[in-house]
A and B are shown apart, each in its own frame.
Chain A
Amino acid sequence: MITVYEKTFDANEWFVIANLILSGILIWKLPKVISAIESAAHFTYGIFIGMFFDHTISIKPWDFYDVNDTSAYQFIDFLSYVMYGPYSYFFIYLYVKFRIAGYKNIFYVTAWTLFAVLIEWFAVKIGVFHYDKGYHMAWSFPVYMSMQTIQIIFYHVHIKLEKSR
């Protein structure tokens, strides 16, 4: 059975669209610090991870939460996953720009995790996510932390392999 939370085009839809437009402009305007293929890989990584979790734990048999206005899969849901792309791009963009290394990695991941949880909290408040089915936001902290750590490992593995080619 499909659960309907609301039917209007309001805050949650605008949040997704504004996020996409503003981040798109920012990506376009900012000076490039990583190559086109690296940008594509890290942008895709965010979408890939967002979709992995949402298409795994928000569908049956687990089905812990819903996204946007209904429990059905809508186009705005797809856009809300694309929204993760710019965040993962900026994550690695600033990582390279500020030459994060050593223990700074821990602070960097912690700061981004807190930022991601804050954005998610806001998204829950305006109705992008609905956690009435048992999901608790406390889980998001380790999820963001591990996915960002994997992204850093992914970046370093790529750099190492590229040098050895």
Chain B
Amino acid sequence: MALPAAIVISLYTVLVFYFQKKPLSFLQNSIVFMIITIAAKNYTTIMTLQLKLFKLTEDSLLFLFFLLHRDIIGPVIVLIFINVFLGTATWKKKVFIFIGMFLSLQLMDILSLLFAVVTYTKWKLLYAGIANSAFLIFGLGLAGGVKYLNREHSV
């Protein structure tokens, strides 16, 4: 049940991103995607291996749920967020999309808990929420950075 759910969510997330209007170019989106994924990998490895704030499943199939969450769903949600955010003029809509994408990330964390993909030892959903917000804001910062790199190129 967990793995099919993760595959379906991954496909929907990727499809939404593929068809949405993207103010960022392919290369800019690729850089943001790769850096967000690198950050997510370090975040989960440090949290589990070093700080032991939560535990990862040792079941190989459930681990695939974790990989889809960490390497596809999470980073692509951040990409969807920054592309909508940058293409939206009003702050009301910007706040709305932030809340929407934040709730999507939180929902993935709740699903990970429900399917026992992760077990919180010294961690809470509230902290996960702070981390998810940080990822969204970090994504926006990266988008600013890659836009600057492109300007450098076109000058």
Q: Which residues in A have some Cβ–Cβ distance to B below 8 Å?
A: 35-38, 40-41, 44-45, 47-48, 51-52, 55-56, 59-62, 72-73, 78, 154, 157-158, 161-162, 165
B104 at the interface (CB under 8 A from A): no
**B45 engages A40 (CB within 8 Å):** no
Stretch from B7-15, B53-61, B105-113 that touches the partner: B53-61
When A36-B152, A44-B31, A154-B30 are in contact, do A165 and B63 touch as well, CB less than 8 Å? no
Q: With A and B bound together, what is the CA distance between A37 and B146 in angstroms? A: 7
Do A165 and B25 touch across chains, with their CB atoms under 8 A apart?
Answer: yes
Given contacts A41-B34, A47-B34, 13 further A-B contacts (CB under 8 A): A37-B28, A40-B149, A41-B31, A44-B35, A51-B41, A52-B41, A55-B44, A59-B45, A59-B48, A61-B57, A73-B46, A154-B30, A158-B30
Residues of A within 8 A of B28 (CB): 37
Measured between alpha carbons, how far is A35 from B152 in the docked complex, in Å? 9
* Residue in A37, A52, A55 with the greatest tally of chain B CB atoms within 10 Å: A37
Check A55 against B41 for contact (C-beta < 8 Å). yes
Name the interface residues of B104-155: CB closer than 8 Å to any CB of A. Answer: 146, 149-150, 152-153
- A to B CB contacts below 8 Å, 25 in the list: A36-B149, A37-B146, A37-B152, A40-B31, A40-B146, A41-B30, A44-B31, A44-B35, A45-B34, A48-B37, A51-B38, A51-B41, A52-B41, A52-B71, A55-B44, A59-B49, A59-B56, A60-B56, A61-B58, A62-B60, A73-B45, A161-B25, A161-B26, A162-B26, A165-B25
- Give complex CA distance A62, B63 in Å: 9
Contact, CB under 8 Å: A52 / B152: no
Q: B1 — which chain A residues lie within 8 A by C-beta?
A: none
- How distant is A39 from chain B, measured CB to nearest CB, in Å? 9
B27 with A38: CB separation less than 8 A: yes
Residues on B with C-beta less than 8 A from A157 are 26
With contact pairs A73-B46, A73-B50 given, residues A37 and B63 touching in the complex (Cβ less than 8 Å): no
Interface residues of B (CB under 8 A from A): 25-28, 30-31, 34-35, 37-38, 41-42, 44-46, 48-50, 56-60, 63, 67, 71, 146, 149-150, 152-153
Q: Which of B27, B44, B49, B150 contacts A72 (CB 8 A)?
A: B49
A48 and B38 form a contact (CB under 8 A): yes
Q: How far is the CA of A60 from the CA of B59 in the complex (A)?
A: 9
